[in-house]
Amino acid sequence: MAVPSYATRGERIWYYLFRVICAAIFLFLVGPLLVIIPLSFNSEPYFTFTDSMLALKPEGYSLRWYQEFFTSSAWLNAIKNSVIIAIASTFLATILGTTAALGLSSRNMPFRNTIMALLISPLIVPLIISAAAMFFFFSRINLTQTYLGVILAHTALGIPFVVITVTATLSSFDHSLTRASASLGAGPVRTFFKVILPLVTPGVVSGALFAFITSFDEVVVVLFVSGPEQRTIPIQMWSGIREQISPTILAVATMMVTLSILLLTTLELLRRRSERLRGLSPG
């Protein structure tokens, strides 16, 4: 979008002004995330840049909030809970979601659109409503304040992501490959593991990543369904922000931003691999 040679002066001014406006909006988007990174190395218990930090003096910076995080039993326990719940619910959501996506992508699937709408619904219904509904229902069957309750709830929330990504991958899947495999004598199970699975793996993995991050980041449902034993990282952050806010929160936030950068990179690599496998783009 370079300035064309025939542009008038007004257009040139507008062209550069537009860039400045966009830069400001990008700053609004990313700036806050970048501000907290140096703040988390603050040696004082403040949420702002101290004079010694601005002067770039080494004594203005420290790792004390990270140390506090890694030595606090509450936070370590929260990590353990988050990982257990996220892995279990991702596993369930991925298995159930992938099988269902295989069925949904079949041309013979009855009531396809209705079922699809139902499977996506946990994504549409606001979290507070899902949380209220699950809380009321789970308290009738004694599932509140249990790991199982939280895991089931998170599985339901993660399922739409798996279904969406895997059906998207399958939509460009060449079904003559399964027929070829069958005509060469492979049974359905062998066809699935040797032909279908390798081709849809990128979709399955990115769906699983979405489900994982959903569970890892989810706070509303856990807030209502879990008990004191199932405190996760987001719950710990939530009560930290509400009760006594210390820069430990910023250290956690910085680590979470790093985690999301890693996940984002993984997803981008998966997307490229999937496109390459399907022959959509060279290299």
Partner 1 sequence: MTQNDMGQAPVLTTADGLPLKTSLMRTTRRHRIRAFLLVAPLLLFLVVAFVLPILDMLKRSIENPEVHNHMSRTVEALEGWDGESIPDEPVFAALVQDLVEGGEARTIGTVASRLNYEASGMRSLIMKTSRRAGRIEEGPYKAAVIDIDEDWADVDTWRLIERESDPFTLSYYLSAVDMRYDAEGNIVDQPDYLKIHNALFIRTFWMSAAITGLCLVLGYPIAFLLANTPLRYSNLLMILVLLPFWTSLLVRTTTWIAILQQQGVLNDLLVGIGLISTDNRLQMIYNKTGTMVAMTHILLPFMILPLYSVMKTIPPHYMHAARSLGARPFLAFRRVYFPLTIPGIGAGSILVFILSIGYYITPALVGGQSGIFITNFIAYHMQTSLNWGLAAAIASILLFVVIAFYLVYNRVIGVDNVKLG
Under rule CB under 8 A, which residues in 167-226 are in contact with partner 1? 210, 213, 216-217, 219-220, 224
Cβ at position 92, least distance to partner 1 in Å = 8
Cβ at position 58, least distance to partner 1 in Å = 21
Per CB under 8 A, which of residues 147..166 are in contact with partner 1?
152-153, 155-156, 159, 161, 163-165
Q: Give the binding range for partner 1 (CB under 8 A) out of 31-39, 63-71, 78-86, 179-187.
A: 31-39
The alpha carbon of residue 90 and the mean position of all alpha carbons in its chain are separated, in whole angstroms, by: 11
Cβ at position 49, least distance to partner 1 in Å = 7
Per CB under 8 A, which of residues 79..118 are in contact with partner 1?
92, 96-97, 99-100, 102-104, 106, 108-110, 113, 115-118
Which residue lies nearer to partner 1 by CB, 32 or 279? 32
Kindly list the distances between the CA atom of residue 243 and the CA atoms of 77, 186, 240, 246, 278, in Å, as whole numbers in the listed order. 19, 61, 5, 10, 51
**CA proximity to 234, closest of 85, 39, 32:** 85
Cβ at position 193, least distance to partner 1 in Å = 15
- The only residue of 130, 169, 181, 215 in contact with partner 1, by rule CB under 8 A: 130
Residue 217 and residue 159 in contact, taking contact as beta carbons nearer than 8 Å: no
Cβ at position 86, least distance to partner 1 in Å = 13
Residue 221 and residue 234 in contact, taking contact as beta carbons nearer than 8 Å: no
Per CB under 8 A, which of residues 39..78 are in contact with partner 1?
39, 46-49
Per CB under 8 A, which of residues 262..281 are in contact with partner 1?
263-264, 267
Which residue lies nearer to partner 1 by CB, 20 or 184? 20
Cβ at position 91, least distance to partner 1 in Å = 13
Which residue lies nearer to partner 1 by CB, 76 or 128? 128
Q: Looking at the chain, which runs of residues are DSSP E strands?
A: none
Residue 182 and residue 191 in contact, taking contact as beta carbons nearer than 8 Å: yes
# binding residues, partner 1 (CB under 8 A): 90
Rg of the Cα atoms in the chain: 24
Residue 225 and residue 134 in contact, taking contact as beta carbons nearer than 8 Å: yes
Per CB under 8 A, which of residues 237..256 are in contact with partner 1?
237-238, 241-242, 245, 249-250, 252-253, 256
- The only residue of 12, 13, 14, 67 in contact with partner 1, by rule CB under 8 A: 14
- 160 is written with which tokens? 């739409």
- The only residue of 62, 136, 172, 190 in contact with partner 1, by rule CB under 8 A: 136
Task: Return d(Cα 1, Cα 210) in angstroms, integer.
Answer: 34
Q: Write the DSSP symbol of residue 193.
A: I
With left for phi above 0 and alpha for psi between -120 and 50, is residue 111 left, alpha or beta?
left
Q: Give the binding range for partner 1 (CB under 8 A) out of 35-43, 55-63, 70-78, 80-88.
A: 35-43
Angle at 140 between CA 137 and CA 145, to 5 degrees: 80
With left for phi above 0 and alpha for psi between -120 and 50, is residue 218 left, alpha or beta?
beta
